[in-house]
Structure 1
C-alpha cells in the first residue's frame, strides 16, 4: 500500500513558475478544472510511434504494475517491464529526475512539479487508442495534469478522502466534518488526521463552507491570509487529534484498536478493516481526493514501449485490474460492465458517479500563481505549506 506523502523538501521548480494567464474556475470541485496557463519548458510531443525498444522502466505505486499484467504486455509487445515501486510522491519526482525511468504513476501532488521541471513531456492522445470515450469525463483535462491545453497525464484511477467512523461509538452518521475539526467535538481525543502538508487543503475545504468571508474558492489556491486561517484551524484540530497517519496500516490499527473513532481516510482503508462497524461518508462540505496518471519522461529512452504500456494499461480489463488491486475507482468506465464483480467494485468506489466526485477537490500542487483565477494577489506555494505544516505539528 502506498503512502502518498508530500515530503518536506522545497519545490524550487514550482516556486519559480511565472504567470502567463488564468486558470478557469468553476462552482464545484471537479468543475474547478481547466486549462492552466503557465510558463513551462517547451518540450516536443511525439508525433508517431516507432519500433519498440525492448524494455520500459516504470516508477509506480505498489499494486500498479504486477507480473500478471506486465508479463502479458511483454508477450504482446516484446517490451520487458522493469518496475520500481515508490512510497511517496517526493520519491517519484526524485527518481524521474535521474533520467533512468520512462513512466511514472504520478498523483496530482507531484504532477505540476514534474511538468514545471521539464521532467515529463506532453502526450499525443492519438497514439493511445484506449484513451477514448470510456475514460470518465471527470478525469480528463484536469488542472493538475493539463497545462496550456496540453495533456501530460493518462488517467489511472481516483479516490476521495472521506470521513471514516466507528459506528459502535459514532451511532449517528455524521453529515459534516465539524466532528473532526471543532474543539467541542464529542469525539475529541479520538480523531485521526492525515500527516502531510497537502492536508492543509482539507482545512481549506472546511473553511470554504464555514467561513465564506475568507473568499476561498479553491483549497489549493490560498493567499497568505487564507493560509493563516487554515493553519489556525489545523492547530485547533491538533488539540483533539489522537494521532496523525501516513502509513495506511497504522491507520487501520488505530481504528481497530479503538484509539481512533473517526477521521480522514481513504475508501479502500475502510474496506480493508474487514469489520462492518467501520463506515464512511462524504460530508456536506465535500472533501479532498487524489487522482493518478501515467506521465512520460521528457528524455525517455523507450518512448514507444512507454506509449504501448499507457495504451495497454488503459484498456478496460487492465485498468480495472489495477483499480481492483489497489482499491480505487478505475479511469476506464467500460470495466464496470465486464462482470458482476467489476460492477460491485465500481459501485463501491463511485467510479461513474460524477455528482459524487463534483464534491471532491483532487490534490494539486500549490503554486504562487493563483489557480482560482485571481491575479491581484500572490498565492502561497508548497514550500510555504510545508513550513506551515511543521508549525501545526510543532
Structure 2
C-alpha cells in the first residue's frame, strides 16, 4: 500500500487530481449538513485574520513565491530565456487574456458592481492544464507541452501584474516605504551573494506583513521575495543546486499537496441553497464561463493561426492545427487563479458565488473538451 501511495504522489498528475478532489469536497461539504460548521470555521478569527484570509493571504503568498521562483528561472535560463522563445507564447498569452476580458466586459458593461470581475476569466490554471497534458502522454507533441508551459507561466505573470495594479486597496504610504526598505535588504542579501535561507525567510516574513498592511495584496510579497533568491553565480548546496532551484524543489510538494488543495477546499465551497436555473444566465456567470471557454480558445488559437498565416512565427513543431486547438481549449481551465481573482474582485458573497459558478462551468467544459479532442485526435502530427 505504501508503495502505491508513493507512486501516486510521484505522478505529474497527482497535484491536479488532489486539487480537483479538494474542490469537489468543498462543494459537497458546503451543501451538506456540515455546511454551517464549514463556513463558521472559515470565518473564525486567529491572530487578527479569519481562517479564510490566512489561506488566501498567507498560504497563497507561499504559492506566489513558488510561481515567482518558476518565473525567474524560466526567464533567466529556461523556456523563456530569449526573445525568440517568448514571442509566440507571449502573444498567445496576451490574446488569451484580452479576448476573455472583452467578452466579460461586453456582458457586464451596464453593471457597475459586476464590471470589476473582468479579470476573472483571463487566468489559466497551470497545474490543471499541464496535469491533463501529462495524462495524454505522447499524444501531445513535446513542442506543444513546452508552448503550454511557457504560455501558462506568462499568463501567471500577467495575473500577478493585474492583481498588483487593479486589485489593491487604498495604499498606506508608511507601510509601503517599510516594504520598500525590506525589498532593499533582500537586494543587498542577493548582491552580497548570501545564500542562507533563514535570512531571506526572516526578511520575507517582515515584507509580507508590511505588504499586507500597505493595501497591496499580501500574496505579492511572495513574488517580490522570489525575485531576490539567487540563481546564478551563487554557492550551491550538496546536490549542486543553486538557492532558487533548491527553494523551488523544497516548496513543490507543499504547494501541490497542501496549499493549493487547501485553497480549493476553502474557496470552491459554493452553497446551492436557493440556486435557481435562471442564475446560470446571470451576466457574471456567462461572462466568466464564456470568457474562459470561448475567449481563451479564440485568443490563443486565433493568435497562433493568424501569426503563422502572416509569417510572424510558426506553430509549435510537429503539431497539427487540431492539436493546437485542443491546447487552446485547455487554456480555458481557469480554476485556481480565477477563483483567487474572484475573491479580490467582489466583496459581496453573492457575486463571489456567481463568479465561482462561472469558473466551474467554463473550466469544466474547457478541460473535458480539450482532453477529448487531444485524446481522440484522428490526425497525426504534421
More helix by share: 2
TM-score (norm 2): 0.27
TM-score (norm 1): 0.26
More strand by share: 1
